[in-house]
Amino acid sequence: MGGACGVGITTGAGAMESTGCGVPMGTSWEPLKSSQARRDAASGVFRGSILAALLLAALAAGCGGGSGSGAGNGSGGGSTPPTTPSTPSDPSTPSTPSDPSDPATPDAPAAVSEARLTPAVVSYGGQVDIVATARVSGAGAAAVELLRIGGDGSAAVAGVLRDDGQGGDEAAGDGVYTLRLAGVTVTAALRYQVAVGDVRSEPLLVSVLDAPTPRPATPGAEDADGDGLRDDVRWHIADALPSSGKGRAALQQVAMAYQDALDAGEGGEAEAAARQLRATECLYHVLGDDAPAQAKGLAAVVLSSAGDAEAAARLRRLLGGLVLRQGVGGVRAERCDFDPDAMGD
């Protein structure tokens, strides 16, 4: 035969398409004029039917299945539909990994933010309950610990923060962990950090108000008396508000916020700004109209011996962008990291 023939496929009852070999299949035949013509036609139909059947068989063997329609002989009989194989996974397509930055992901890295101690300013020799809080994500099964930092930088576990609505924690499962340390006597500055494994918060400080230490002839930028403040800053506060314990405490909270701003590294300015706003609002609650002048005088002392020009510029930016919230006195009282009523006049 001169060329490959097409395959006759049933398209309807009693209707067939051409085999492509010049022999129509399944069509209405006109009466033939002679027996020879009828034999030739029958022979052509027979050969075309055999060829179509062979081609269909070859296609079925090569494709793993066949057509569900009748084929080749015009009988309209259907073959059994093949089973469609399942599509195998593409080994070249990698599975989508979990996002480690998502706190809901089991292997998300731990993060600690908004760490805070209350009270953060304590009268010398006072016995207080210190409450530590921090927002923690990605902790998983790891303990959230409060570390007491020694003068040599060593760390000891002071307790474990919890997020179960117990032991001083306000709400279970809200991501804010809490620990209450009862009856702590403060005679020197206390330094802490919240830790989840190797991840730690910024340093947290409980500073001492009015520590009974002799005044140096020239107070410098060191913290010789261990109250958590530079000596020049501490004595400036003592001189600025000699008769107001809560005024000195408020100014000391502002001084600690200034120091946080100086120490804040890249990415830490947002939290430093939040602490500065909190401290300044407390100062306004305690001192009223005298607050701006006291804050300005304190900033001048802090900046005079900042040492790091970049840090000083960071503090100036923070102070320049400070916008106080308007609110009643009760709201601003809550911004103090100490109890104003416990500090005297």
* DSSP per residue, 212-263: --PPPSS--SS-TT-SSS-HHHHHHHHHH-TT-HHHHHHHHHHHHHHHHHHH
Regarding whether 286 and 203 lie in a shared domain, the answer is no
CATH number at residue 135: 2.60.40.10
The answer to whether residues 295 and 269 touch, using CB atoms and an 8 Å cutoff, is: no
Q: Per residue in 253-312, pLDDT tens? A: 999 888 887 777 666 777 778 888 889 889 999 998 899 899 889 988 888 876 667 767
Regarding whether 296 and 231 lie in a shared domain, the answer is yes
Tokens 């569900």 belong to: 68
Regarding whether 204 and 190 lie in a shared domain, the answer is yes
What is the residue-wise DSSP string for 187-219?
Answer: SS-EEEEEEETTEE---EEEEEES---PPPSS-
pLDDT at 132 over 50: yes
pLDDT recorded at residue 87:
52
Higher pLDDT, 340 or 15: 340
The mean pLDDT of the chain is: 73
**Residue 306 per-residue DSSP state:** -
Specify which of 60-64, 196-200, 207-211, 314-318 reaches the highest per-range mean pLDDT. Answer: 196-200
Regarding whether 231 and 345 lie in a shared domain, the answer is yes
Regarding whether 272 and 146 lie in a shared domain, the answer is no
Look at 114-123, 133-142, 166-175, 222-231 and tell me which has the smallest mean pLDDT. Answer: 222-231
Higher pLDDT, 339 or 16: 339
Specify which of 31-35, 73-77, 250-254, 259-263 reaches the highest per-range mean pLDDT. Answer: 250-254
Cβ-count burial of 131 within 10 angstroms (0-12 exposed, 13-18 middle, 19+ buried)?
middle
Regarding whether 260 and 190 lie in a shared domain, the answer is no
pLDDT recorded at residue 324:
55
pLDDT at 19 over 70: no
pLDDT at 76 over 90: no
Query: In this structure, which long-range contacts are made by residues 198-201, counting pairs with CB atoms below 8 Å and at least 24 apart in sequence?
Result: 199/109, 199/110, 199/111, 199/112, 200/112, 200/147, 201/112, 201/113, 201/115, 201/134
Q: Which of 189, 209, 229 is the last residue of a domain?
A: 209
Q: How confident is the model at residue 138 (pLDDT cuts 50, 70, 90)?
A: confident
Mean pLDDT of 59-67: 47
Q: Per residue in 78-98, pLDDT tens? A: 444 555 555 555 545 444 444
Single-letter code of the amino acid located at 328: V
Higher pLDDT, 69 or 167: 167
Domain assignment of residue 129, yes or no = yes
Domain assignment of residue 286, yes or no = yes
pLDDT at 152 over 70: yes
pLDDT at 5 over 80: no
Q: How confident is the model at residue 77 (pLDDT cuts 50, 70, 90)?
A: very low
Q: Which of 188, 209, 230 is the last residue of a domain?
A: 209
The answer to whether residues 48 and 23 touch, using CB atoms and an 8 Å cutoff, is: yes
The answer to whether residues 176 and 163 touch, using CB atoms and an 8 Å cutoff, is: yes
For 131, phi then psi, to 5°, come to -110, 125
The answer to whether residues 340 and 333 touch, using CB atoms and an 8 Å cutoff, is: yes
213 C-beta neighbours (distance < 10 Å), count: 15
d(CA 221, CA 229) in angstroms, rounded, equals 9
The answer to whether residues 26 and 20 touch, using CB atoms and an 8 Å cutoff, is: no
Which token pair is 41? 């036609």
**Residue 313 per-residue DSSP state:** H
Quick one: how many helices (H) and strands (E) in the chain?
Answer: 7, 11
pLDDT at 28 over 50: no
pLDDT recorded at residue 265:
66
With pLDDT > 70 as the criterion, what percentage of the chain qualifies?
A: 61
Regarding whether 39 and 11 lie in a shared domain, the answer is yes
Q: Is the dihedral of CA 243, 246, 252, 257 positive or negative?
A: negative
Domain assignment of residue 68, yes or no = yes
Mean pLDDT of 189-215: 89
**Residue 69 per-residue DSSP state:** S
Regarding whether 230 and 178 lie in a shared domain, the answer is no
Regarding whether 218 and 203 lie in a shared domain, the answer is no
Regarding whether 234 and 327 lie in a shared domain, the answer is yes
Regarding whether 267 and 337 lie in a shared domain, the answer is yes
Domain assignment of residue 89, yes or no = no
Domain assignment of residue 101, yes or no = no
Q: Which of 78, 99, 124 is the last residue of a domain?
A: 78
DSSP strand pairing (144-149 vs 190-196): antiparallel
d(CA 253, CA 286) in angstroms, rounded, equals 12
d(CA 55, CA 328) in angstroms, rounded, equals 93
Task: Provide the domain limits for residue 142.
Answer: 108-209
Higher pLDDT, 319 or 104: 319
pLDDT recorded at residue 214:
85
Q: Rounded to 5 degrees, what angle do the CA atoms 104, 108, 109 make?
A: 140
pLDDT at 189 over 80: yes
Regarding whether 123 and 29 lie in a shared domain, the answer is no
Look at 49-53, 149-153, 182-186, 305-309 and tell me which has the smallest mean pLDDT. Answer: 49-53
Mean pLDDT of 203-208: 89
Single out the residue of 190, 181, 185 nearest to residue 226, CA to CA. 190
Domain assignment of residue 92, yes or no = no
Domain assignment of residue 94, yes or no = no
Number of structural domains in the chain: 3
Domain assignment of residue 305, yes or no = yes
